[in-house]
Amino acid sequence: MASRMQDKAASIGFDWKSIDGVKDKIKEELNELEHEINHGTKEKITDEFGDVFFSLVNYARFLKINPDDALSSTNRRFRSRFEAMEKIAKQQGYELVSLTPKQWEQLWQAAKKKYT
């Protein structure tokens, strides 16, 4: 939906002149989100979080990337790597829940190498 709205706006010229404007907008939205996280209500935080998402979708449009496809690909990679972490831990006689963040990171890096 965000992609379609942005495409429509761009079709009449309501668009950034360059990708630099899009990147600056993302930075601005991240700063606003951070401010609301520190000072705002859950509603304001939610609004700003949505603005960050919307800006990232626009960035994808400039890069000619389908944001839904990008997120699906990331979800698949995460699932594969997380399952690999579980498998490696089990092979070593551990459950993930019993490990430290440092051990999780080591397993994550091992899984990334195996499933990149």
pTM (predicted TM-score): 0.85
Domain with CATH 1.10.287.1080 in the chain: 2-65
Instruction: Give the pLDDT band of residue 5 (cuts 50, 70, 90).
Output: very high
Q: What is the CATH number of domain 2-65?
A: 1.10.287.1080
pLDDT tens digits, 36-72: 999 999 999 999 999 999 999 999 999 999 999 999 9
Q: What is the reported pLDDT for 114? A: 82
Burial 5-26 (b: 16+ CB within 10 A, else e): ebeeeeeeeebbeeeeebeebb
Distance CA 86, CA 90 (A): 6
pLDDT surpassing 70 at residue 94: yes
Please identify which residue in the block is written with the tokens 């609004």.
47
